[in-house]
Amino acid sequence: MRRRGPWETPTEFMREMTPVERIRPPSPEEFEERYVRASRPVILRGAIDHWPALRCWSREYFKRRFGDRSVPVIRKKGGAMYDADAGLFYERMRIADYVDQLSEARPLDLYMVFRVHEVLPEIFDDIARPAYCRDASWYRARFWFAAPDTKGPLHRDLPENLYAQVSGHKQFVMIDRRLTRMVHRHPFYSGVPNYSPVDAEEPDLLRHPRFGDAPRMLATLEPGDLFYIPSLWWHQAHSLDLSLSVNLWWARGWMVPVVRAAEAFMKVRDLKL
């Protein structure tokens, strides 16, 4: 039996969280000063309304344009997306087959997630690098195509992150990077060194008691939102309906050799993240 704390239901637990600030897109200078330097998450509403992706991305679009392409997907095993030693459970699937499964009226144990540069660079035709990271010398992107009620694991990333919600709605639970001790993270030597075993929406406090005292923030994204996730902040995403997203990682200055070293570390250890 899970001990949730003073809340009786997951809904009550979610209400306890502090909402992430939602603003109109500021100037790059203001964004850098108020949010990046302060390590402070923020939702920039309507910041990607000019992207072609807002007008064309859909199940039908990806099936028509890329249907025969084979891409990585994560398949749940025993309700989990990863093993602490082996990493995420990746396999490859044709995009058309994935879209067909999305059309079926049943829960889906698949989640399409891949690195844009390596797998489908044509996606860059439909998006534009935001002014906030346009001058970054290190830049990567990842694509997310989720069925309704798909929930990812709690984790953190080293680079700065702008998460663009193109279609559908997605909810994030956030934990400050300074509270890492509270998330019971997996060991550095594991197959998922940047992951936590805690379900941030429904934590099992008997197994993970420190998490009960961790202040949490809640961000709910709508189409057109650009969500800033500061470096090393813990976050867990939950697709509330059919969701199409792309996140944009970037680094500048002294952080560039650090993220390059992290990439090399992942390659040497063959981490499946």
Length of the chain: 273
Asked whether 227 and 174 are in contact (CB, 8 A), the reply is no
The residue type found at 33 is: E
Q: Where are the beta strands (DSSP E) in 119-270?
A: 138-146, 160-167, 170-175, 217-221, 226-229, 234-239, 243-251
Taking alpha carbons only, the member of 258, 122, 269 closest to residue 190 is 269
- Distances in Å between the Cα of 219 and the Cα atoms of 20, 88, 171, 173, 222 are 5, 25, 6, 7, 10
DSSP at 207: T
Taking alpha carbons only, the member of 111, 109, 102 closest to residue 71 is 111
Taking alpha carbons only, the member of 247, 191, 198 closest to residue 221 is 247
Summarize pLDDT for 107-122 with one digit per residue, the tens: 799 999 999 999 999 9
Asked whether 43 and 23 are in contact (CB, 8 A), the reply is yes
The per-residue pLDDT for 106 is: 72
Summarize pLDDT for 131-158 with one digit per residue, the tens: 999 999 999 999 999 999 999 999 999 9
If you search the block for the tokens 């008997």, which residue do you land on? Answer: 206
Taking alpha carbons only, the member of 246, 223, 245, 237 closest to residue 172 is 237
DSSP at 164: E
Burial pattern 33-53, b for ≥16 Cβ within 10 A else e, equals eebbeeeebbbbbebbeebeb
Q: How far is Cα 178 from Cα 160, in angstroms, rounded to an integer?
A: 16
Asked whether 232 and 124 are in contact (CB, 8 A), the reply is no
Torsion of CA 73, 77, 81, 84, to 10 degrees: -130
Instruction: Output the tens digit of pLDDT for each of the chain's 273 residues.
Output: 344 454 455 555 555 899 999 999 999 999 999 999 999 999 999 999 999 999 999 999 999 999 999 999 999 998 899 999 999 999 999 999 999 999 776 779 999 999 999 999 999 999 999 999 999 999 999 999 999 999 999 999 999 999 999 999 999 999 999 999 999 999 999 999 999 999 999 999 999 999 999 999 999 999 999 999 999 999 999 999 999 999 999 999 999 999 999 999 999 999 999
Q: How far is Cα 224 from Cα 168, in angstroms, rounded to an integer?
A: 10
Contacting residues for 109 by C-beta, under 8 A, at least 6 apart: 75, 76
Domains (range + CATH), the chain: 10-269 (2.60.120.650)
Tokens coding 21? 């600030």
